[in-house]
Amino acid sequence: MSTVPLPSWPILLAMIVAEIMDLAASTIVNVGGPALISSLGASPAQMQWVIGAYALALGAGLVLGGRLGDRFGRRNMFLIGLAAFTVASLFCAVAPTIAMLIAFRLLQGLAGAMLLPQGLGLLRENYSGPDLAKVFGIFGPILGLAGILGPVLGGMLLELNLFGLGWRAVFLINIPAGVACFLVAWRYLPHRAGDRSVNIDVAGATLLVLSSVLLVLPLGEAGAWPGWGWPCIVLAALGFGLFGLRQSSVVRAGQAPLIMTSIFQRPAYTAGLAGIALFFCSLVGMQLVLTLFLQIGHGLTAGEASIANLPFAIGTACGATLSGAVLAARFGRRVLQLGAGVQLAGVALLQYELGNTAAFSAWHVVPGMLVCGIGAGLVIAALFSIILASLDDRQIGSGSGVLSAVQSIAASIGVAVFSGAFFAAHPAVTPGRALSAALAIQAVILVAFMGVTLFFPPAAKSELEVNHA
């Protein structure tokens, strides 16, 4: 049996830890929202921005981060991104005001966008054959659960309240981990030159970032739609359109675009983008609202809220394992519809649990959260591979980058929409009714997601190739 040579294991460990830091950063602050409100005097809208700003900056910068890795070398960009992420985490930890914390979270997200795209490329550069398959077998599931486990880790850190640091410990934990990963990567990652012939479309990248910000900006008003909201949405749509035209002109000039525009000519892939956006908007938004419900609505501590989130994380792990090992290969896109259906059952169960509790306890919502987690895991394990089956091999890199970017931006939108719905209803109504309002939104989004999956490829690419062989 082939084994990964011992000197290569530090590379895998550095990749795993660094990428977990990157992905978990988008959700690890979820349970810190109430602490931010009390510590820095944050408003609900400012709390939303602390949580959602990271995902927004990450999604807006991912495509550019990938191209920078192509040009300057993935090792170089991994080290630069990791160093910047670590420093930005320190800035977040010492931020004296909520405005500065939001600004530092945006910087942290941009650093994460430089770091995250390098991981898979570095693994492909340093492993091959059976070793590569073994590495991806370890790497994939861990990263898939990183964002789900973020609130659990954040709650534990807040509950421990190390040295009286409170929510600041959530960011400080990245410092020793980041320094250790940097030293290991510096020591073990081989030097490989980038391709200096790759041009960076600065104008296109700027359009993409500005359009993403304009799309999310009016949603961060904690349930109050601003008068300038619709002009922002129109400008965002115009900006994305101009970005597409820009990429087409870059191709006509014989240069490499940030995104291959041909991917948008595949209807199944375009449907996949809509599906990714709907699913992760719903998933991340509801994770946050459940935490707000437990802490603000019922006075649970951050640690108690993190423990209450464990059933969701456990369910997600179980659903992902079942989907990845058995169901996705056998049923293709139908496993996505099954997962959404299971999530809907979990939503209905949560609604029932909220309506039948005279004296609330976190144990009351454990069954519903477990079922929701199982449904989410069924979808997460198969979603990307099935959508990417609509593209040919030369489009996979560009297509996967866009999917990741849409996932992050949708997560930011989910934070704004769902927490906005919660704060709009609470404290005018009971916490249970405020959560019910958010659950109703999730149910609508999940039904829309199930409809969109009908236009997905029937199975993941490898499975399609086997069927045609």
The CATH topology of domain 263-469 is Growth Hormone; Chain: A; (1.20.1250)
Please say whether the beta carbons of 54 and 105 come within 8 A. yes
Averaged pLDDT score across all residues of the chain: 83
Q: What is the 3-state secondary structure (H, E, C) of 254-279?
A: CCCCCCCHHHHHCHHHHHHHHHHHHH
The answer to whether residue 119 scores a pLDDT higher than 70 is yes
The percentage of the chain sitting over the pLDDT mark of 90, rounded to a whole number, equals 27
Structural domain boundaries of the chain?
1-198, 199-255, 263-469
Residue 1 is given by DSSP the state: -
Tokens of 213: 């910000």
Q: Which of the two residues, 90 and 404, has the higher pLDDT score?
A: 90
pLDDT category, 108, cuts 50, 70, 90? Answer: very high
What whole-number distance in Å separates Cα of residue 30 and Cα of residue 52? 9
Residue with tokens 């979990």: 346
Q: How much helix, strand and coil, in percent to the nearest 5, is found in the chain?
A: 80, 0, 20
Please say whether the beta carbons of 53 and 220 come within 8 A. no
pLDDT category, 176, cuts 50, 70, 90? Answer: very high
**Could you report the per-residue pLDDT of 46-76, keeping only the tens digit for each?**
888 888 889 899 988 888 888 888 888 888 9
The answer to whether residue 219 scores a pLDDT higher than 80 is no
The answer to whether residue 7 scores a pLDDT higher than 70 is no
Q: At residue 334, what is the residue type?
A: R
Q: Could you give the count of Cα atoms lying within 13 Å of 249 in the half-sphere of its Cβ?
A: 9
The answer to whether residue 159 scores a pLDDT higher than 50 is yes
**Could you report the per-residue pLDDT of 253-276, keeping only the tens digit for each?**
877 788 888 888 899 999 999 999
What superfamily does domain 1-198 belong to in CATH?
A: MFS general substrate transporter like domains (1.20.1250.20)
Please say whether the beta carbons of 277 and 410 come within 8 A. yes
The answer to whether residue 4 scores a pLDDT higher than 50 is no
**263-469 shares the fold of 1-198:** yes
What whole-number distance in Å separates Cα of residue 20 and Cα of residue 38? 28
| Helix boundaries (H) for 189-220 | 202-216
pLDDT category, 305, cuts 50, 70, 90? Answer: confident
- String of b and e for 306-340 (b: at least 16 CB within 10 Å)? bbbbbbbbbbbbebbebbbeebbbebbbbbbbbbb
